[in-house]
Structure 1
Amino acid sequence: MAVELLRVVAVSDGNGEHAVIVDARANRPGRGAWLHPVPQCVQQAIRRRALTRALRIDRPPDTSALVEHVETLNQHGNRTGSKEHEHTVKSR
């Protein structure tokens, strides 16, 4: 069973500020980061400033669009119907 990850990228507003947006097709240009699409993982990444480091930006970005997207995804549970996060990772 493969774990689903969500790709995010930082977009600049031109004034040095960044926002993190979901790259659902994984084809937006620039450096991306991959997250488990569950609120706990997103909140932990924000709290630890992992997105700032992974996306190589100099300030914490606006993550409101990411948080809203993940909360919407998880209102109906994951693909197995469980509200619990699936931790199984397929080895390559």
Structure 2
Amino acid sequence: RQNKPILKPHSYLQALVTEFQVTDSTEAKEQVLANLANFAYDPSNYEYLRQLQVLDLFLDMLTEDNETLVEFAMGKGCPEHPPLSPGQGHRPRAPFGP
């Protein structure tokens, strides 16, 4: 069994973006977009997503005819991270004070 090198988040996300851009397969695009959407749930990935213009990619997908791509771009239907209920998730920090 051959060990694959572990990619850093930026490199892995870059590989996903590249795969999304070069593939002609609708199914592959759906899978990649779902993976990107799952990464978007973690605030520590935001800077990588911004640098790779993934946010623009999500916005572009909102006008697609493919309903699955639209839903994944909106963060709906991603299997690993269901939508948060009120009171769940990260709470914004106040800019001043405790």
TM-score by length of 2: 0.28
| Structure with a larger share of its residues in helix | 2
Q: Which has the higher relative contact order, 1 or 2, with Cα contacts under 8 A spaced 6 or more apart?
A: 1
